[in-house]
Amino acid sequence: MSAAQTHTSKYDIVIVGAGFAGLYALYRFRNEGYRVKVIEAGNGVGGTWFWNRYPGARCDVESMQYSYSFSDEVQQEWSWSERYAPQGEILEYVNFVADKFDLKKDIQFNTRVNTAVFDEAAGLWEIGCETGETFVAKYCLMATGCLSVPMSPKLDGIERFKGELYRTSSWPDKPVSFEGKRVGLIGTGSSGIQATPRLAAAADHLYVFQRTPNYSIPAHNHELDDDYQHDWKSHYPERRALAKQTRNNTLNAAGEGPGEGLSWDEREAVFEERWQFGGLGFMYGFTDMTSSKVVNDHASDFVRRKIDQIVKDPETAAKLKPMHYPIGAKRICVDTDYYKTFNRENVTLLDVKADPIETVTEAGVKLASGEIEVDILILATGFDAMTGALTRINPVGRGGQTLTERWEDGPKTYLGMAIDGFPNMFIVTGPGSPSVFTNMVTSVEQNVDWVADCMNRLETEGVQTIEATTEAVDDWTVKVGELAENTLLTGLGSNSWYVGANIEGKPKVFMAYLGGAATYSDICKSVADDGYAGFRLVSPADA
């Protein structure tokens, strides 16, 4: 091991991750005068948008909103080309922001953090890396992402496959040619659904291996004209402020009332209007979309009828229709021509629930009914969401307690940002925050701002450690659970990554706060205003 590799460096704060969260945190903390280091496993900034380079990858929150609000200069200077920007453009944007504020000089790339240990005597975090380096800091910010650890699907024989094997979640940074190739795609969540039309257009033949059909809403993506952008840019401050007062940090014309009391025709008209408009706003037509069975059944049936209208072959349409779980119980998808793609001659949909994958072979995928030979196999099989990046580091807190021990029965946090027993460690958009139910760039900014304000106060008052109390963590976790219980998102058939159901052995707990982003933000503010209620603040004199 070289001298450089054993080097220990000391900072005020170490941030793990250089996605939207880590970059904004670096910007904010550095401006406050802290000595900051960001450690990033990849060799560039962007997080999600650095890793997920698969064909068709793009945001499904509109670009004018899925962007930083902290700098008016940035939002005035940058122009988006499409309603939903493609991955490459979002990655360019993130680099533009990083370069504009000279952020890269404080980021160490190609470095994976594998340990984080709290030294109680010194009151410091020791962040260990696979390179052998150690970074020591008073504060540790986990900006490690909700969807940053690919899950390893149980696919017998996968190591035998002799063709090209790709994962959407770590797509190579080089062109992949599909020309004249038979391509197999496993997984029909948002990633698989975005990739399908693009793969079908480029490959000789596309086989889509679908285990569970998903509900997908058309994006109606289009180029953004100058007038539209100009209009947004002239109203950014007030629109951003309004968005922060919504449930999901997005202006998506949320319906203000419940749908249950309306007639079938009235509800149908709202669904049709939202289908024609496109995007995630389909889920916000009524306030009771995920709590009223009547309204949810109607919306689910509406999408199924659309599938019947679009897909010409009735057998294929039947396979594509989600029948056994409510719309929204799995993250809905937003697509461009997904259902239509199954009308192409060169696309075959394989229902691997009815005809299971037995093994991957050297030449392809063997189903119970026989082998499908492919040249390229793509896994769009998802992530160990919300907790995966944190449990892999498995921080060690006070008394030698590990995170996985504390989270044995599922993740427990206070506000999704703090954990009892782990002083001076904060998580950005962690489990127990609204995170994945919102426009995440805005949620990231809210969390980072809250942590920065908190740190400023601690430093001004000479506080040594801040730590959530066990009572606050337990109460918050119960609250998060109760909010989810009152919806249709946790019941039978809701075997989604929201509840960790895609990972064997993961506790089945609904992981996001469903009270809405605006309410959450108000709660965070009142916690701070009350002198960090629910936290224990220790000054050297108390120790």
3-class SS of residue 63: coil
- Smallest distance, Å, CB 103 to ligand FAD? 13
Interaction residues for ligand FAD, span 389-408 (CB under 6 A): 389, 393
DSSP type of residue 499: G
Any bridge partners for residue 418, and if so which?
Answer: 414
Site for ligand NAP contains 189 (CB under 6 A): yes
Q: What gap in Å lies between CA 190 and CA 231, rounded to an integer?
A: 30
Integer angstrom CA distances of residue 39 from 4, 47, 140, 439: 15, 12, 11, 24
389 binds, among ligand NAP, ligand FAD, none (CB under 5 to 8 A by kind): ligand FAD
In sequence order, which ranges of 313-439 are alpha helices (DSSP H)?
A: 314-320, 338-341, 388-393, 403-406
Rounded to whole angstroms, the Cα distance separating 107 from 105 reads 6
Residue from the set 103, 208, 352, 428 that interacts with ligand FAD by CB under 6 A: 428
Nearest distance from C-beta of residue 52 to ligand FAD, angstroms:
4
Contact 216, 335 (CB under 8 A): yes
- Report 371-390 residues binding ligand NAP (CB under 6 A): 380-383
- What is the distance between the terminal CA atoms of the chain, rounded to a whole angstrom? 38
DSSP assignment of 223-263 equals: BPPHHHHHHHHHTHHHHHHHHTTSSSSS-S----S-STTS-
CB-wise, 86 or 432, nearer to ligand NAP? 86
Long-range contacts of 417-421 (CB under 8 A, 24+ apart): 417/447, 417/450, 417/451, 417/524, 418/466, 418/467, 418/468, 418/473, 418/535, 419/468, 419/473, 420/467, 420/468, 420/469, 420/470, 420/472, 420/473, 421/397, 421/467, 421/470
The residue among 18, 96, 90 whose CA lies nearest residue 61 is 90
Residue 42 binds to ligand FAD (criterion: CB under 6 A): yes
Q: Which of 36, 59, 143, 365 binds ligand NAP (CB under 6 A)?
A: 59
Q: How far is the CB of 539 from ligand FAD (least distance, A)?
A: 31
Please select the residue that binds ligand FAD; options are 440, 472, 489, 509, rule is CB under 6 A.
440
Cα separation, 54 vs 195, whole angstroms: 7
Q: Is 189 in the site for ligand FAD (CB under 6 A)?
A: no
Beta bridge partners of 538: 465
- Please, what is the minimum distance in Å from the beta carbon of residue 369 to ligand FAD? 31
Mark 83-112 with x for binding to ligand FAD (rule: CB under 6 A) and - for no binding. Answer: -----------------------------x
- Residue number with CB closer to ligand FAD (161 or 282): 282
Residue 54 beta carbon to ligand NAP: minimum distance, rounded to whole angstroms: 9
In the complex, least distance from residue 107 CB atom to ligand FAD, rounded to whole angstroms: 10
Is 360 a residue that touches ligand FAD (CB under 6 A)? no
What element of type H or E holds 51?
Answer: helix 48-51
329 binds ligand FAD (CB under 6 A): no
Q: Does 444 bind ligand FAD (CB under 6 A)?
A: yes
* Segment 88 to 147, residues that bind ligand NAP, using CB under 6 A: 147
Q: Which does 105 bind (CB under 5 to 8 A by kind): ligand FAD, ligand NAP, none?
A: none
Nearer to ligand FAD, 189 or 285 (CB): 189
Check binding of 280 to ligand NAP (CB under 6 A). no
How many CA atoms lie less than 13 Å away from 427 in the CB half-sphere?
A: 32
Distance in angstroms (rounded) separating the CA atoms of residues 115 and 393: 5
In the complex, the residues that contact ligand FAD under the rule CB under 6 A are 16-22, 39-42, 47-48, 50, 52, 57, 59-61, 66, 112-113, 143-148, 191, 389, 393, 428-429, 439-440, 444
In the complex, the residues that contact ligand NAP under the rule CB under 6 A are 59-60, 147, 153-155, 186-192, 194, 209, 211-212, 331, 334, 352, 357, 380-383, 436, 497, 502
